[in-house]
C-alpha cells in the first residue's frame, strides 16, 4: 500500500484527470472526435463495472452507479444516440462525461481497488475477507442529496460508525475470527433493520400529515 492509504500506488495512479477534460467541459458545441473521447471513457467505466461484478466484490462506487441508474447489463454509461453538434445533446454528453470521470476517479471503481478496500476493512475488523465483503456490501450506501444527486465518494460513514461501535466489544469477547465475523454481520443486520423501521415510521408520519393537509384544503 502507498503511505498510509488503503489503496496501492498502482490504483492511485489511475485517479488522474483526463487530459481532454478541460477542453470537453469548456467546448460550447462538440465534435465527433470529442464524442469518441467520451465514448472511450464510457467503455472503460463499463468494463470496470463488469470486472467488479464478475469478481463478486462489494464496491461502493459500483453500488452508487446502480442506485442511480438501476440494475442493467454492463452498460451503465453510454453516448449512443447523442449528436455532439446539437447543443442540447452536447450538454447531455458533457453531463455523462462528468459522471464517467467521477466514477473512474473513485478508487473502488476498479476490481483491484474494491478488493483493497475490503481487505482493509477485514484487517481493521480482524475477520476473514469473505465476511468483510458481505459487511461492506451491507454497510455502504451512496449518499443522495435533496436534489436526488448521488455522491459516489461518501460511502464510508455507516461502516466507520459501525466499526467504532463493535470494536469496543471485541476485546471482551472470546471468539475466533469466524465467530466474530458472524457476530458482526448479525449486529449489522439488526442495525440496518432499525434504520429501515425508522425510515418507515418517518415516511408514514409524513404521509399522514400530508393527507391531513389535503383534507383540510378540501
pLDDT in tens, 113-135: 999 999 988 888 788 898 888 88
Does residue 176 fall inside a structural domain? yes
Question: In the predicted model, is pLDDT for residue 74 greater than 90?
Answer: no
Sign of the Cα pseudo-torsion (196, 201, 206, 211, in order): positive
Helices (H), 126-156: 129-139
Does residue 184 fall inside a structural domain? yes
Residue with the bigger pLDDT between 104 and 167: it is 104
* pTM summary value: 0.71
Quote the crossing angle between the two packed helices 111-125 and 129-139, to the nearest 10°: 100
Average pLDDT over residues 47-71: 90
- CA nearest to 36, candidates 87, 80, 67, 71: 80
Average pLDDT over residues 171-176: 54
Does residue 111 fall inside a structural domain? yes
pLDDT score at 44: 96
Does residue 46 fall inside a structural domain? yes
pLDDT score at 164: 56
pLDDT score at 124: 80
Domain count across the chain: 1
Q: How far is CA 169 from CA 138, 173, 177, 183, 196, in A?
A: 20, 7, 14, 11, 24
Does residue 57 fall inside a structural domain? yes
Does residue 155 fall inside a structural domain? yes
Does residue 3 fall inside a structural domain? no
pLDDT score at 180: 63
Pick the range with the lowest mean pLDDT from 1-15, 19-33, 34-48, 161-175: 161-175
Domain of residue 96 covers 9-217
Q: What is the dihedral of CA 59, 107, 158, 182, to 10 degrees?
A: 50
Burial class (CB in 10 A: 0-12, 13-18, 19+), 121: buried
Residue with the bigger pLDDT between 38 and 163: it is 38
pLDDT score at 86: 96
Where b means 16+ CB within 10 Å and e means fewer, 193-209 reads eeeeeeeeeeeeeeeee
Average pLDDT over residues 48-65: 93
Does residue 131 fall inside a structural domain? yes
Pick the range with the lowest mean pLDDT from 50-54, 121-125, 128-132, 184-188: 184-188
Q: How far is CA 117 from CA 72, 129, 143, in A?
A: 24, 10, 18
Question: In the predicted model, is pLDDT for residue 158 greater than 60?
Answer: no
Locate 167 and state its grid cell. 470494536
Amino acid at each position: 500500500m502507498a503511505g498510509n492509504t488503503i489503496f496501492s500506488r498502482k490504483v492511485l495512479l489511475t485517479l488522474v484527470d483526463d487530459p481532454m477534460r478541460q477542453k470537453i467541459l469548456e467546448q460550447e458545441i462538440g465534435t465527433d472526435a470529442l464524442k469518441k473521447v467520451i465514448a472511450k471513457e464510457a467503455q472503460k467505466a463499463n468494463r470496470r463495472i463488469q470486472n467488479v461484478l464478475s469478481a463478486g466484490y462489494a464496491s461502493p462506487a459500483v453500488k452508487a452507479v446502480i442506485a442511480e441508474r438501476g440494475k442493467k447489463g454492463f452498460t451503465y454509461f453510454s453516448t449512443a444516440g447523442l449528436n455532439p453538434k446539437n447543443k442540447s445533446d452536447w450538454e447531455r454528453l458533457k453531463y455523462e462525461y462528468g459522471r464517467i470521470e467521477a466514477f473512474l476517479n473513485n478508487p473502488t471503481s476498479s476490481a483491484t481497488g474494491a478488493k483493497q478496500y475490503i481487505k482493509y476493512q477485514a484487517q481493521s475488523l480482524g475477520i476473514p475477507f469473505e465476511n468483510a465483503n458481505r459487511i461492506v456490501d451491507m454497510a455502504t450506501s451512496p449518499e443522495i442529496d435533496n436534489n436526488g444527486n448521488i455522491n459516489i465518494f461518501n460511502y464510508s460513514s455507516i461502516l466507520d460508525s459501525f466499526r467504532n461501535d463493535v470494536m469496543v466489544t471485541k476485546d471482551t469477547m472470546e471468539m475466533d475470527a469466524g465467530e466474530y465475523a458472524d457476530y458482526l454481520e448479525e449486529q449489522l443486520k439488526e442495525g440496518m433493520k432499525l434504520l429501515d423501521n425508522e425510515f418507515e415510521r418517518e415516511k408514514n408520519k409524513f404521509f399522514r400529515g400530508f393527507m391531513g393537509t389535503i383534507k383540510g384544503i378540501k
